Structure 1
Amino acid sequence: MPTLEPDLNRLYVENSIPAFSREAPFSSLLMDLQTQGWSVQDDFFSTGFTQALKDEAENIQNAFMLQAGVGRKQDHQLVLDARRDYIQWIDPDKPIRKDFLRTMEELRIALNRRLFLGLFDYEAHFARYEKGAFYEKHLDAFKGESNRILSTVLYLNDDWQDGDGGELVIYDENNPDIEIGRFFPKKGRLAVFLSECFHHEVIVAKRTRHSIAGWFRVNNTTSMTLDPDQ
């Protein structure tokens, strides 16, 4: 029986891959958020770090992902007419996942220092849109009803082309009928926007599409119990 040797190119050791390849990686994002409330940054992370996240996303078996729904905790329900993606929440149980969450913690601190948002924590999940999947126009939070302040989406797809679908569409803050941006889900692209302000949608994907969706949150608790995540 042959010995199965590990593929060394697919092994990632904690902290062995620099997250960024440029100085001041947050500067453009922070400026955009301060001036317009949303930002789309290409090649936000280093090539190696993005590839590690892409490999992690693609290696998740469908059996270990959940059909995404609408609402949180006891209000959660499946609405297949609204969204068709599958998700797996990210816990710090593997090196690359831990490093991703640590990096977003650095961004949380920078956001609070620059924009005084009072962000308390960050939660995220891998998302998989199979061919035919979509997410209709929606807000990630409603004013006064959610602790989600900033939404983030990191795209993990090679060679995305015209005709592949799956674009993120962002709508005007003051008129959700006006489209202000349409973005391919190409590898390394990070979108960040105010959760309560910008309607957005995912156009029907014509091929499998991977991403990491996340939210920076404030803590609205008035007791000893923290707001629930996920």
Structure 2
Amino acid sequence: MKTHSIADIYLTDIENTGYAIIHNAINEALIADLVADCYRINPDFHTAAIGRLNQQQIDTTIRNDKTYWFDSSSQAQITYLATMEAIRTRLNRTFFLGLFDYECHYAKYQNGDFYKKHYDAFKGRSNRVFTTVCYLNTPQSGGELVIYKPKSKDIATTVKPQAGTLVLFESERFMHEVLPAVDTRYSIAGWFRKNASISGIIDPPR
């Protein structure tokens, strides 16, 4: 009987549905190190903005979580980025996407924090191709990720935060939201990007 690797399963799910939910994708030791890193930088979390570059603004009616962008200031961040690099390479080899790099930040949702329905990319206007969400803890309630069917108000799936679970989905295709947190929820939100550079100037992150 042929056994299928985690990679085989999530690549098949992405091909068939455009998203994948991978339980126990990140080992417990790295999760523990990433949580410890969140505690280390807790004072430096800031209210999340919406938009990119000079169009960024804070609007707490749309989202009010706190974030900290990875800066490779810890071994935990470096190891996580290496893990994502391996996934980027596999996605490129399988789907010929030309993914150029990966950017990510920690996200902290405390009681009542939410992120209303939104896309992470708009067709033809963004270099974000795949969104990733990695859960760092398992809150008892609240903070679920809701992914909607393309061009529909119907729900494709609802993901309850569980430490070690990694979610991937097409950034332009799936509207999604984070329901209000009850218990504190730590995660990493990230994006595999294509290079949208112009005139030889490399497109910047965020």
TM-score range, shorter chain: over 0.9
1:222 aligns with 2:203: no
User: Partners of 2:6 and 2:40 in 1: how far apart?
Assistant: 28
Indicate if the aligned counterparts of 2:6 and 2:22 stay in contact, CA closer than 8 A. no
User: Partners of 1:38 and 1:91 in 2: how far apart?
Assistant: 27
Runs of 4+ in 1 over 4 A off after TM superposition: none
Aligned to 1:183: 159
Q: Give the AA of the match of 1:130.
A: Q
Aligned to 1:77: 57
Structure 2: 5+ residue runs without aligned partners? none
Among candidates 142, 166, 186, match of residue 165 of structure 1: 142
- Say which structure is richer in strand: 2
* Shift in Å, 1:129: 0.7
1:47 aligns with 2:28: yes
The number of residues matched between the two structures is 203
Structure 1 residues 144-192: Cα deviation after superposition (integer angstroms, max 9, x where no partner): 000000000000113x33xx211000000131x1011111111111110
Taking structure 1 as the reference length, what is the TM-score of the superposition? 0.85
Matches within 5 A, 1:47-66: 47-61=28-42, 63-66=43-46
Rg larger for: 1
Matches within 5 A, 1:75-224: 75-158=55-138, 160-161=139-140, 164-175=141-152, 177-224=153-200
Provide the alpha-carbon RMSD of the alignment: 1.3
Structure 1 residues 108-134: Cα deviation after superposition (integer angstroms, max 9, x where no partner): 010000011110000000000111100
Q: Give the AA of the match of 1:73.
A: L
User: Partners of 2:27 and 2:136 in 1: how far apart?
Assistant: 13
Identity across the alignment (%): 40
Taking structure 2 as the reference length, what is the TM-score of the superposition? 0.94
User: Partners of 2:7 and 2:31 in 1: how far apart?
Assistant: 16
Structure 1: 5+ residue runs without aligned partners? 1-22
User: Partners of 1:134 and 1:67 in 2: how far apart?
Assistant: 12
Equivalent position SS for 1:26? helix
* Shift in Å, 1:57: 2.0
* Shift in Å, 1:200: 0.4
Q: Give the AA of the match of 1:198.
A: F
